[in-house]
Amino acid sequence: MRSINKQTLLKGLNPQQKDAVLRTKGPLLVLAGAGSGKTRVIAYKFAYLTSALNSHPSSILTMTFTNKAAEEMRQRIEKLINKSVKGSWIGTFHSMCNRILRKDIEKLGFKREFVIYDEDDTCNLIRSILKEFRIHEAIYKGIASKITSLKASLIGPKKFLSITNNNDDHYGFDEKFARVYVRYQDELKRNNALDFDDLIMLTVKLFEKHPDILKKYNNEFSYIMIDEFQDTNVAQYRLSKFLAGTRKNICVVGDDDQSIYRFRGANVENILSFERDFPKTKVVRLEQNYRSTQNILEAACEIITKNSLRKPKKLWSERGEGEKLFYCITNDEREEARYIARSIRELYLKGRHSYGDFSVLYRINLQSRALEEAMIEYSLPYKVIGGVSFYQRKEIKDIVSYLKFITNPDDSISLKRIINCPPRGIGAATITRIENEARKKNKSLFETMKHITHSNGTATALKKKVGSFVRLIEKLMSYKTSDIRRILLQIIEKTEYVKSIDEERAENLKELVNSVDGKDLRVFLDTVALYSSSDDSHEGDSVSLMTLHSAKGLEFPVVFIAGVEDGVLPHFHAVKSPEELQEERRLFYVGMTRAQDLLILSSARKRTLYSLIQKQEASRFLNEMSPDCYLCIERKPRREILAAPVGGPISLVKFTPFITGARVKHPKWGVGVVRDCYGETEDLKVMVNFSSVGVKRLSLRFANLEKL
């Protein structure tokens, strides 16, 4: 490997970043404030370990939470050391555990060719169990969430039953739920499938039951780095401690102030108790922020310091004070949405920003409807982040399910998805009949279907339907090669799937086929299963709409946070719990620190929530900020138009004939169309798009405009 001069490598790091990079022995806790360059520290530390200390890249285990973050980390490292690190242990917790289990999961009773069920697969399996047990199917999401929570705490079905049998009702024992959980885990094993949470839980179980395997990895990894450590759950923390071994050369990087995934099992106590669990831990604080202006940071810090469960840190910036925050009070959510859209349009027309520079954040998904309507009304291009990802689109899931099934014929969930897709006359009643037969004979669904095909006692119509599908699958299995592109083309052709979909969906399938060239079949299926909407690209010239949770890790020059009201932010579920209220405060802090240059908050006096119109009060979090931090703007009811807020406090604008869309004539530039009207009452300004010279910003007092 190319040797890198130590001084050259460390050039450009601030003193605290340099300190974190150079400490390579023993446990290290890097408390990295928002925008303080934590990914930079991890990349440089990896480069330092491999180049200056001659550690092999494969001896450094580097884990984070999203594929996107892992890929960014890998690219930074390769750029620093000028060498590929392909094959190294850089990835998400789930992908790294998947890699470990692919080698040794047989010791836990599974086959190495296991499939990974995504959230949709998991919910379908739970629904089928609820249907069999004659339990109301509508509760499947609640069941899935509870199973995830238990597995995040390393509580499998047997442990759950033993806890509840000892009269410990901490986990809310329910006999029906216990039956479903036991059956769910049995069905996963029968299908040779793992869900996301199994990847972590079973790796921990593997290390507990087989110390020799753990020892192998302790010897293999000389150093461990974990990003976003504040988001780890009990299972991930236990895994981290196992992998740290006796050397305890472990570096965790995170920010307790950005721990916002409690509902997924994340435990902020992990980062708060790290020093206790790893004696002689060195703590390095990264407090210089490279993202936001000082005014934004001070406002955010005033709020987050009200949390008692946190490590103290004080962010600062060299970017200057910047603009103050704006806070606008509107009458209802529709007026709030229009206010945001108008503000975005004005800033865009001033020419300093593209649409991709704007992000609108909100606490709950139902807020997006009014915002989307306003974006459409003002003709602003936008995208909703965190929606359906490419691999979750129906046509993609269908074809990938064929691929999963011919790879693992025990996978009943994939089988039930494809058995009548496209339609081939095999309905729900037929599937139920096959499932009942499979349970009686203790066989997989596909084995049962093959038996039906060759049985003399089977009705001719059923035998014909099932036999046709069995022959199709066996034909597709015969095409199974290392060439995924060829397999996919055969699946699409032999199933005649394209005949049942529209042109747009067909184009998506072409994109899928073109994307798999040169990929390994197993790696591809694992990548698809472990892909999430957070891995989608956020590039493009359009306004980003997303929840505060989805905004984690992102940054934008201009950020709007809508619905800063009690009951929304903080959420009404959280206000009675001190721990949950602190998490809501962290969520607000995360949203605020996404802003680079301008942060605009808004609230409504009344809002339609869950089909009810409710009066709203401003968020209690606003009272935790000094009034000097922001400029307050209040929209007055009706018959008056407010100018947009950006650039200073706004005032009322009387009605004017030069409204948006009006055709006007200028004595020099000719005919144009008004794109916006704003400003102080005494000095109204208009943005006019002239066909001769483009957009001009004019003062109505001096422009001599004539309305046509």
Q: Catalytic one among 16, 17, 18, 38? A: 38
- Cβ atoms of 476 and 402 within 8 Å: the answer is yes
Catalytic residue among 19, 23, 24, 39: 39
Q: Answer yes or no: 227 catalytic.
A: yes
Q: Residue 184's closest CA among 152, 154, 146, 153?
A: 146
* Cα–Cα distance for residue pair 296/595, rounded to 1 Å: 8
Q: At what angle do helices 394-407 and 460-478 cross, to 10 degrees?
A: 80
Burial class (CB in 10 A: 0-12, 13-18, 19+), 314: exposed
Residue 586 to residue 590: CA distance in whole angstroms = 6
What does each C-alpha distance from 563 to 260, 367, 560, 596 come to in angstroms? 18, 8, 10, 20
Return d(Cα 242, Cα 234) in angstroms, integer. 12
Q: What is the largest CA-CA distance in the chain?
A: 94
Instruction: Based on the residue annotation, tell me whether 258 is a catalytic residue of this protein.
Output: yes
541 is a catalytic site residue: no
Catalytic-role residue among 78, 197, 228, 298: 228
CA distance 638 to 244: 64
Range 175-181 contact pairs with CB under 8 angstroms and sequence separation of 24 or more: 176/133, 176/135, 177/143, 177/146, 179/133, 180/126, 180/129, 180/130, 180/133, 180/135, 180/143, 181/147, 181/150, 181/157
For residues 652-691, b (16+ Cβ closer than 10 Å) or e, as one string?
ebeeeebeeebebebeebeebbbbbbbbeeeebbbbbebe
Displacement of CA 486 from its chain's centroid (Å): 32
215 is catalytic: no
Using CA atoms, how far apart are residues 475 and 452, in angstroms rounded to an integer?
18
DSSP-assigned letters across all residues of 262-306: GGGT--THHHHSHHHHSTT-EEEEE-EESSS-HHHHHHHHHHHTT
DSSP H helical ranges for 58-210: 67-81, 93-104, 119-132, 140-152, 157-165, 175-190, 196-209
Residue 534 sits at φ, ψ, to 5 deg, of -70, -15
Check if 127 is active-site.
no
H/E element, 57: none
State the DSSP H helix or E strand holding residue 409, giving kind and residue range, or none if neither.
none
Is residue 434 within 8 Å of 449, Cβ to Cβ?
yes
Cβ(443)–Cβ(450) under 8 Å? Answer: no
What stretch of H or E contains 607? strand 606-609
Shortest CA distance to 403 belongs to which of 471, 479, 468, 470?
A: 479
CB 285 within 8 A of CB 38: no
Find out whether 174 and 160 touch, Cβ atoms under 8 Å: no
- Of the candidates 17, 66, 258, 448, the residue annotated as catalytic is 258
In whole angstroms, give the CA distance from residue 342 to residue 631.
Answer: 18
How far is 369 from 221, CA to CA, in rounded Å?
49
Any bridge partners for residue 672, and if so which? Answer: 664, 690
Distance, in Å, from the CA atom of 189 to the CA atom of 211, rounded to the nearest integer, reads 23
Does residue 230 contact residue 258 with C-beta atoms inside 8 Å?
Answer: yes
Number of H helices, E strands in the chain: 26, 26
Catalytic residue among 198, 227, 255, 584: 227
Report d(CA 131, CA 112) in Å as an integer: 30
- Per DSSP, the residues of 86-125 read TTSSEEEHHHHHHHHHHHHGGGGT--TT-EEE-HHHHHHH
At 607, give phi and psi (nearest 5°).
-150, 140
Catalytic residue among 594, 605, 635, 685: 594
Query: What is the sign of the dihedral through the CA atoms of 573, 574, 576 and 577?
Result: positive
407 counts as catalytic? no
Residues involved in catalysis: 38-39, 227-228, 258, 594
